[in-house]
């Protein structure tokens, strides 16, 4: 009997593996195992997915699990090239019962064929490989962090990231790793930015002269000094950059990099359970701030300081003294489900409004003047509040009306007409073409290097080409060839949303929040007119294409247009 196999493999690009090469050797290993028994008729291969991500959250693995439920799946068994890449930790124990339930075999080279669900030896072997996979990842993480700690502390090496305000990146020579140097990789260091470095000195001088953080922010805004987000708008598209914030001043005053020493490990990646009641969903990675005693500071001064160490230490003493009289209390975090979390924006400053509870009332609040120096650049009340209960009623009514069966055609037409005539930015087209040309040039340079050309000359070519590519890539929006959706596609997406009316009528707050996010709802509150403008978008890749605006949704009058 000939067995039909589906091949599953995985590669992570975080350690710069070549996806095609990895796929080829994994598939070759799998084919060598099953060639005498059948043939591979389907393939599921995850690219860029960490091994720690459970199967249900890997795109191709999830497709494979879904395919196994179909009696006409077209394959009888699944073969993997290397179990360490497929299963991590206890994933085998959580996944293999699904194979058994649907009668799909699992073949791995390490057991010489099919895994026997009744064999304790096979179960032990697969569990061991899952533990080895987890241990390998942990060892790599420890080695990398140890190496980066030594590079920052002993060598004072710049380890990447954006330069702090007041500095810019400068070339520091070829990479010490010969292989990376051959690819054109170079080190960088910090050097004072002639435009922003004087502002850093001004901030420290004014603070030590007795001015408060807010007064400094107000003065810089009044004098037309670009804030950090306005100085680097490409990396701060989520910020308006209209004024200096107190937070920006506070970060500058507490950054020891301005003394000329390199600092690393101010933040760390923390893996947090997605759902404590469903551990099988795995973890998600979040950035967390480390305590000051965990920061890695270089032993020596490695770049030009903007202030001396004494000035910096005096600033820290002043900041500590200003906070010494404050009494702290233990905070008890209470989780409130804000249905429109992250979706409500202030119409005056375009910032997201924050959730706030006042007694039993859930509010969305904007406190722009409390955080930013206005300097008469924007008229904004001290506090802007919007009660959630005043908005949800009219919003649910509008959505129920738009997606009622007899109104679907009208809604589809509105979404179709709301699409832009073209999504092609001429500048982005030129930039994308330049990126492609640079990629071709880099391939030629590497070929020349392999052919025996002068390494120093080729390295210079590669560096220049990579610089041009980075510049072109920054100009490219990445959305240069997206076609308009036709009405049938839009109607299909709308149908996939299901019966929104019944969902909103019976759903709890968490389910409602999920519906609003699927619709990519964007609410803008204008406090002067007490009107909320609502926009929804849909997209075949996550509901994000074709805006359907509805303005004048007045939450206080409880009606909408």
Question: Element (H or E) spanning 16, and its range?
Answer: none
- Residue pair 522/534 in contact by the 8 Å Cβ criterion: yes
| Pairwise pLDDT comparison (321 vs 306), residue with the higher score | 306
Task: List the one residue out of 14, 64, 25, 13 whose CA is nearest residue 42.
Answer: 64
In a domain, 277, yes or no: no
| pLDDT tens digits for range 452-478 | 666 666 676 776 676 667 666 655 544
Eight-state DSSP code of residue 560? -
Is 543 in the same domain as 404? Answer: yes
Is 388 in the same domain as 501? Answer: yes
Is 180 in the same domain as 258? Answer: yes
- Residue pair 46/9 in contact by the 8 Å Cβ criterion: yes
Is 305 in the same domain as 380? Answer: no
Q: Which sign does the torsion angle of CA 491, 495, 496, 497 carry?
A: positive
What is the pLDDT confidence band of residue 504, given thresholds at 50, 70 and 90? low
- Residue range 147-155: mean pLDDT, rounded: 89
What's the chain's average pLDDT?
79
Is 81 in the same domain as 131? Answer: yes
Is 252 in the same domain as 186? Answer: yes
Is 23 in the same domain as 96? Answer: yes
> Is 50 exceeded by the pLDDT of residue 498?
yes
- Residue pair 315/253 in contact by the 8 Å Cβ criterion: yes
| pLDDT tens digits for range 240-254 | 667 888 888 999 999
In a domain, 436, yes or no: yes
Asked which of 440, 475, 510 is the last residue of a domain, the reply is: 475
In a domain, 282, yes or no: no
In a domain, 253, yes or no: yes
Is 504 in the same domain as 456? Answer: no
In a domain, 50, yes or no: yes
> Is 50 exceeded by the pLDDT of residue 558?
no
The CATH number of residue 37's host domain is: 3.40.50.1390
What is the pLDDT confidence band of residue 5, given thresholds at 50, 70 and 90? very high
> Is 90 exceeded by the pLDDT of residue 42?
yes
In a domain, 102, yes or no: yes
> Is 70 exceeded by the pLDDT of residue 479?
no
| Pairwise pLDDT comparison (171 vs 334), residue with the higher score | 171
Distance CA 64, CA 42 (A): 10
Q: Is 344 exposed, middle or buried (0-12, 13-18, 19+ CB in 10 A)?
A: buried
Q: 240-277: b or e for each residue (b if 16 or more CB lie within 10 Å)?
A: bebbbbbebbeebbebbbbbbbbbbbbeeeeeeeeeee
Is 106 in the same domain as 239? Answer: no
| Count of residues in the chain | 561
- Residue pair 370/382 in contact by the 8 Å Cβ criterion: yes
In a domain, 160, yes or no: no
Is 49 in the same domain as 133? Answer: yes
Tell me, yes or no, if the pTM score tops 0.85: no
| pLDDT tens digits for range 205-233 | 999 998 888 889 888 988 888 888 887 77
Distance CA 84, CA 132 (A): 7
The CATH number of residue 203's host domain is: 3.90.1750.20
> Is 90 exceeded by the pLDDT of residue 44?
yes
Asked which of 121, 138, 155 is the last residue of a domain, the reply is: 138
Structural domains in the chain (count): 4
In a domain, 518, yes or no: yes
Is 18 in the same domain as 63? Answer: yes
Task: List the one residue out of 216, 544, 239, 512 whose CA is nearest residue 391.
Answer: 512
The predicted structure's pLDDT at residue 216: 92
Side by side, which strands form the sheet with 77-80? 38-47, 3-11, 77-80, 105-108, 113-114
Is 210 in the same domain as 250? Answer: yes
Owning domain of residue 453? 426-475
Distance CA 202, CA 171 (A): 27
């Amino acid at each position: 009997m000939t067995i039909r196999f589906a091949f599953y493999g995985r590669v992570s690009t975080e350690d710069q593996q070549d996806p095609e090469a990895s796929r080829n050797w994994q598939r070759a290993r799998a084919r060598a195992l099953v060639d005498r028994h059948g043939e591979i008729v389907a393939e599921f291969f995850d690219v860029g997915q960490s091994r720690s991500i459970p199967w249900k959250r890997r795109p191709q693995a999830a497709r494979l699990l879904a395919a196994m439920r179909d009696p006409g799946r077209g394959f009888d068994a699944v073969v993997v090239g290397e179990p360490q890449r497929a299963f991590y930790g206890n994933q085998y124990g959580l996944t293999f019962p699904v194979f058994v339930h649907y009668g799909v075999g699992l073949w791995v080279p390490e057991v010489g064929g099919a895994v026997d669900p009744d064999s304790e030896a096979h179960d032990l072997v697969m569990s061991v490989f899952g533990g080895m996979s987890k241990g390998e990842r942990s060892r790599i993480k420890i080695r990398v962090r140890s190496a980066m700690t030594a590079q920052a502390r002993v060598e004072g090496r710049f380890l990447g990231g954006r330069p702090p305000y007041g500095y810019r990146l400068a070339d520091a020579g070829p990479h010490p790793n010969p292989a990376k140097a051959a690819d054109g990789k170079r080190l960088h260091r910090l050097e004072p930015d002639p435009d922003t470095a004087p502002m850093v000195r001004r901030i420290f001088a004014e603070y030590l002269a007795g001015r408060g953080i807010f007064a400094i922010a107000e003065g810089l805004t009044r004098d037309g000094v670009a804030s950090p987000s306005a100085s680097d708008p490409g990396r701060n598209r989520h910020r308006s950059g209209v004024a200096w914030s107190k937070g920006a001043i506070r970060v500058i005053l507490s950054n020891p990099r301005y003394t000329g020493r390199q600092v690393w490990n101010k933040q760390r990646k923390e893996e947090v359970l997605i759902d404590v009641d469903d551990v099988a969903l795995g973890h998600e990675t979040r950035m967390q701030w480390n305590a000051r005693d965990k920061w890695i500071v270089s032993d020596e001064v490695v770049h030009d300081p903007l202030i001396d160490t004494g000035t910096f230490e005096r600033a820290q003493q002043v900041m500590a003294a200003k906070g010494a009289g404050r009494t702290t209390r233990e905070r008890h975090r209470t989780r409130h489900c804000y249905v429109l979390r992250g979706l409500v924006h202030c119409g005056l400053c375009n910032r997201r409004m924050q959730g706030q509870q006042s007694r039993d009332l859930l509010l969305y609040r904007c406190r722009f003047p409390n955080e930013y120096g206005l300097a008469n650049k924007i008229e904004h009340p001290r506090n802007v509040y919007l009660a959630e209960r005043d908005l949800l009623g009219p919003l649910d009514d509008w959505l129920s009306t738009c997606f009622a069966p007899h109104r679907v055609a009208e809604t589809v037409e509105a979404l179709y007409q709301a699409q832009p005539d073209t999504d092609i930015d001429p500048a982005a087209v030129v930039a994308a073409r330049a990126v492609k040309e640079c990629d071709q040039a880099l391939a030629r340079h590497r070929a020349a290097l392999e052919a025996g050309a002068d390494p120093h000359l080729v390295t210079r070519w590669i560096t220049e080409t990579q610089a041009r590519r980075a510049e072109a890539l920054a100009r490219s929006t990445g959305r240069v060839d997206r076609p308009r959706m036709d009405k049938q596609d839009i109607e299909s997406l709308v149908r996939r949303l299901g019966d929104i009316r019944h969902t909103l009528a019976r759903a709890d707050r968490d389910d409602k929040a999920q519906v609003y996010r699927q619709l990519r709802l964007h609410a803008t509150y204008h406090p002067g007119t007490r009107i909320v403008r609502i926009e929804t978008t849909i997209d075949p890749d996550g509901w994000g294409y074709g805006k359907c605006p509805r303005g004048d949704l007045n939450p206080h009058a409880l009606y909408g247009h």
